[in-house]
């Protein structure tokens, strides 16, 4: 059977390397209805991902980054209304039936989550779980599946794979568990791998190992990776392109180096300034933007970051469009920052304006 042993080499020519995006999202919108209230979680997000590229979506909790990818995966509850377009390998994902979606989810797009322990079945051996994924997607005999399991474990650089297949999740370290989850995600040779905070719960050392693995898989298999993270340093270190989300919208997008060397959107600048730095002397206060993201249940007039932005004025009452103002660099702002300008008043540490809830 050709799936065994040759899949790595085979998958390279699939789809062809080129500029044609493997995943193309156009004006994606997600609205939840809760207790009669309409909560607009994602408000018109568009992006493309090319084969073998890594896109990072960054933003705070509630910015809509996870909802965006869950909408693509068809993992939202029935109360969510999804509109817009998301084309994966020429197939429209929005509006697909659950049955069709289940096929796509296995075959073309896979997802890994933050907590590997919860993604795995504690009562099944690692080998059995990976074999299950293999046999769901391919018609192979048990011995062939077992062979493929070992191959996948080697692919994710699991130490001593022959020993691991018989072990259970609780016998593995966090990093090894995440490798198992990735192996399961790769069982169907997906074109797009979505990593939702996949390394957040791991140690820095393990995080670096898993990120190296994702980069390596991207290069060897041509898998496109969409990583969701709130860690800007991580996104800056690994992604090819970065997309910053705030209140359900994309507020800035550019190739990684372009974006971080020339941050234009005040919100992105605020995020960059809030990262603790090894170069800071001890006990330095960080410059912090006060306030909270807007309540997704209430309509926002103009720029969503306006209430927290030091540069905001009456112009900002009109929502700025996400335009490509510079080559490959889009941002939604009327008053972009330049250089090292900090658009946020360094609020006194103990001051926090009243919550929005």
The single residue among 8, 11, 80, 260 that binds another protein, judged by CB under 8 A, is 260
Query: At its nearest, how many Å lie between another protein and the CB of residue 340?
Result: 6
The single residue among 103, 280, 298, 325 that binds another protein, judged by CB under 8 A, is 280
Closer CB to another protein, residue 187 or residue 213? 213
Query: At its nearest, how many Å lie between another protein and the CB of residue 314?
Result: 25
Q: Mask: binding to another protein, 169-198, rule CB under 8 A, as x and -?
A: ----xxxx----------------------
Q: Can residue 259 be called a binding residue for another protein (CB under 8 A)?
A: yes
Query: At its nearest, how many Å lie between another protein and the CB of residue 239?
Result: 9
Choose the stretch contacting another protein; rule: CB under 8 A; options: 31-39, 217-225, 232-240, 299-307: 232-240
- Tokens coding 138: 């391919």
Q: Can residue 273 be called a binding residue for another protein (CB under 8 A)?
A: yes
- Enumerate residues 6+ apart whose C-beta is below 8 A from 281: none
CA distance 44 to 248: 8
The single residue among 288, 295, 307, 310 that binds another protein, judged by CB under 8 A, is 288
- Tokens coding 51: 């084969």
DSSP state of 352: -
The single residue among 32, 113, 238, 331 that binds another protein, judged by CB under 8 A, is 238
Closer CB to another protein, residue 1 or residue 285? 285
Choose the stretch contacting another protein; rule: CB under 8 A; options: 1-9, 93-101, 116-124, 277-285: 277-285
Q: Please name which of 247, 300, 297, 295 lies closest in space to residue 34, comparing C-alpha atoms.
A: 297
Closer CB to another protein, residue 11 or residue 258? 258
CA distance 259 to 325: 12
- Enumerate residues 6+ apart whose C-beta is below 8 A from 348: none
Choose the stretch contacting another protein; rule: CB under 8 A; options: 1-9, 14-22, 139-147, 200-208: 200-208
> β-strand 249-255 against 241-246: which pairing, if any?
antiparallel
CA distance 136 to 209: 28
CB distance 31 to 39 below 8 Å: yes
CA distance 152 to 52: 19
CB distance 86 to 74 below 8 Å: no
Site for another protein in 327-346 (CB under 8 A): 340
The single residue among 9, 27, 212, 328 that binds another protein, judged by CB under 8 A, is 212
Q: Can residue 285 be called a binding residue for another protein (CB under 8 A)?
A: yes
Q: Can residue 351 be called a binding residue for another protein (CB under 8 A)?
A: yes
Closer CB to another protein, residue 86 or residue 198? 198
CB distance 4 to 147 below 8 Å: yes
- Enumerate residues 6+ apart whose C-beta is below 8 A from 244: 58, 59, 250, 251, 252, 253, 259, 265, 267, 268, 271
- Tokens coding 103: 């096929």
Q: Which residues bind another protein (CB under 8 A)?
A: 60-61, 159, 173-176, 203-209, 211-212, 230-234, 236-238, 256-257, 259-263, 270-278, 280-290, 292, 340, 348-352, 354-355, 357
């Amino acid at each position: 059977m050709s799936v065994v042993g040759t899949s790595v080499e085979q998958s390279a020519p699939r789809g062809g390397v080129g500029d044609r995006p493997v995943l193309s999202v156009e004006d994606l919108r997600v609205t939840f209805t809760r207790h009669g209230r309409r909560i607009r979680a994602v408000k018109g997000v568009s992006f493309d991902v090319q084969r073998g590229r890594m896109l990072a979506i960054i933003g705070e909790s509630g910015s809509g980054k996870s909802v965006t990818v869950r909408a693509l995966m068809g993992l939202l509850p029935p109360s969510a209304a999804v509109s817009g377009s998301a084309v994966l390998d020429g197939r429209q994902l929005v509006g697909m039936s659950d049955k069709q979606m289940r096929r796509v989810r296995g075959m073309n797009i896979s997802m890994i989550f933050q907590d590997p322990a919860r993604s795995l079945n504690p009562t099944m051996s690692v080998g059995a779980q990976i074999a299950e994924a293999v046999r769901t997607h391919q018609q192979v005999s048990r011995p062939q599946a077992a062979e493929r399991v070992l191959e996948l474990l080697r692919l994710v650089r699991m130490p001593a794979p022959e020993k691991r297949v018989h072990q259970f999740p609780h016998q593995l370290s966090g990093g090894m568990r995440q490798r198992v989850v990735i192996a399961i995600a790769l069982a169907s040779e997906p074109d797009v791998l979505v990593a939702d905070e996949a390394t957040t719960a791991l140690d820095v050392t393990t995080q670096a190992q898993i990120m190296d693995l994702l980069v390596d898989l991207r290069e060897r298999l041509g898998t496109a990776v969409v990583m969701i993270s709130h860690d800007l340093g991580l996104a800056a270190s690994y992604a090819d392109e970065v997309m910053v989300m705030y209140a359900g919208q994309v507020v800035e997008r550019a190739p990684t180096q372009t974006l971080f060397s020339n941050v234009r959107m005040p919100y992105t600048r605020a995020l960059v300034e809030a990262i603790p730095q090894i170069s800071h002397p001890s006990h330095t206060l960080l410059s912090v933007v006060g306030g909270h993201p807007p309540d997704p249940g209430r309509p926002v007039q103009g720029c969503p970051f306006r209430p927290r932005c030091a540069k905001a004025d009456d112009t900002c009452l009109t929502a700025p469009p996400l335009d490509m103002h510079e080559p490959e660099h889009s941002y939604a702002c009327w008053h972009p920052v330049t250089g090292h300008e900090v658009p946020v008043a360094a609020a006194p540490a103990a001051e926090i304006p009243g919550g929005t809830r």
